[in-house]
Structure 1
Amino acid sequence: MDTQRSFSFSSFDGTELAVHRMGAGRPVLLLHGLFSSAEMNWVRFGHAGKLADAGFEAIMPDLRAHGASGKPHDPESYPPGVLARDVAALVAALELDDYDLVGFSLGARTAARSVIEGQRPRRLVLAGMGLEGLAGWNRRAAYFIDAIDRFDQVKRGDPAFMPVSFMKTMKIDRVAARLLLQAVDDTDPGELARITMPTLVLCGDKDDDNGSAERLAATLPDARHVTIPGTHMGSVTEGALGDELVAFLGG
């Protein structure tokens, strides 16, 4: 397996973002989920390695306020659509003009927004995402903001226990994360008509955290829905996730 290489670049507003690369070949940009990182989402469970072995170069940024990337506390560092703007800045910095785009959960939402706002990957994967997770993001964000606000009071049995536990594991900067959550807007289902490239909607068979993946696939112009084992968090640990990425992107 190819070894991992890392670098950082200045995004559109000067915030330094960390990017990790593995493999050599066709570029595939991989966007991780909320409170996660490139290492946790794509490297630890072997998904990036499978892509590298299949002849791809996995390009994995740590999203703003996550991982080794900048975590500014200035609200002006989180304008509306900030994550899609970061993706556009990375695509420009690497001069990518023929690549694939993959996102999980918040990363899937960011990937969809990036395409709606003008990015044109050859193929797109939206993992851990359903139609309601795009159209009803404000409700989902409110759930996580509540978890941040009650961070020190949350006990086992509380609906916020799992996200708080994960934030502790990942040593999340809660000030930066809260600002980021407020910068992510809803996606109108009518905007999904702009996602015209072949798309894989990939979801755990016990994952309904972001609504119906089947409905999302039915709404998109050229998409198919595939399930793998697992809940929302559990599906990331399944080897089937990497296998399905290789099968779809290499097909």
Structure 2
Amino acid sequence: MTAPILEHVTAVDGTKLAVHRLGAGRPVVMLHGLFSSAEVNWIKFGTAQKVADAGFDVIMPDLRAHGLSEAPHGEYSSAVLVDDLKDVIAHYQLSGFDLVGFSLGARTVLNAVLAGVQPERLAVVGMGWEGLVGWDKRIAFFVDAIDRFDDIRMGDPAFFAVSFMKTQKVDRAAARALLTSLSGTDLSNLSAVTMPTKVINGAKDNDNGSAQTLVEKLPNATYAEIPGTHMSCVSEPALGETLVEFLSR
């Protein structure tokens, strides 16, 4: 297993974003999920290695306030994660690239396409229709978990979110600022998502609602089910295998 190279990209507001790169060939940018990192979602369980071995330059930013990226406090713009993605694409002068996102990363790559970013292929992992429609409720749940961080015990619906934040050593002030800044997805223009799209979801993952419904709402999407829950599906070999099959077409 090859260790990724750690690089840095400076976002337009000066925030330094950590970027992990592995492999060579056609570029694919992969965004991780909330409170996680490129290491946890893509590298640790071998997904990035599978994609790199298939002939791809795998580019994995840590979202701001996550992983090894800087976590400035204060207000962010409502499109800050899309803007950061655009800065990464511009920094590497990417063309003919693909986009992959998991959970919050899935929402971000979809929002980026709606904002004019044009990958040749798009993979949306761990995201369903209700996760987009009910974005405000999802945000409220995680903000509440941050606000009650020290008081949450086993049995509380937010217990596992808090446990994961502790494991990841999340900067809660920066994460809260990021979450409360983000706007919902403009679902009126899904016809703009014309590129081949693969919606991938764990068989026991209901965290963001119906992935099948999301497939039906997108003009050029197909569905793939892999084993696992929302948390565990990123550890499944099937994730890397499904991505390689889709991206290699």
Give per-residue Cα distances to partners, 1:78-132, cap 9 Å, x unaligned: 1111000000011001000110000000000000000000100010000000011
In the alignment, structure 2 segments of 5+ residues that lack a partner are none
SS across alignment from 1:41: helix
Question: For 1:165 and 1:3, how far apart are their aligned partners in 2?
Answer: 27
Is 1:58 matched with 2:58? yes
Quote the residue 1:112 is aligned against. 110
SS across alignment from 2:9: strand
Is 1:72 matched with 2:72? yes
Which of structure 1's runs of 4+ aligned residues deviate more than 3 A? none
Contact 1:135/1:188 (CA < 8 Å) preserved in 2? no
> One-letter code of the match for 2:40?
M
Is 1:5 matched with 2:5? yes
In the alignment, structure 1 segments of 5+ residues that lack a partner are none
Question: For 1:191 and 1:235, how far apart are their aligned partners in 2?
Answer: 29
Quote the residue 1:98 is aligned against. 96
Match of 2:233 among 232, 235, 239: 235
Q: Percent identity, aligned pairs only?
A: 57
TM-score (norm 2): 0.98
Number of aligned residues = 249
Q: CA deviation at 1:193?
A: 1.5
Match of 1:194 among 192, 195, 211: 192
> One-letter code of the match for 2:87?
A
Contact 1:48/1:242 (CA < 8 Å) preserved in 2? yes
- More off after superposition, 201-210 vs 3-12: 3-12
Q: CA deviation at 1:134?
A: 1.4
> One-letter code of the match for 2:218?
L
TM-score (norm 1): 0.98
Quote the residue 2:183 is aligned against. 185
- More off after superposition, 1-10 vs 189-198: 1-10
Q: CA deviation at 1:136?
A: 1.6
Question: For 1:14 and 1:246, how far apart are their aligned partners in 2?
Answer: 34
Question: For 2:36 and 2:56, how far apart are their aligned partners in 1?
Answer: 22
Give per-residue Cα distances to partners, 1:14-41, cap 9 Å, x unaligned: 1110000000111100000000000000
Is 1:23 matched with 2:23? yes
Q: CA deviation at 1:184?
A: 1.6
Match of 2:149 among 148, 151, 154: 151
Quote the residue 1:161 is aligned against. 159
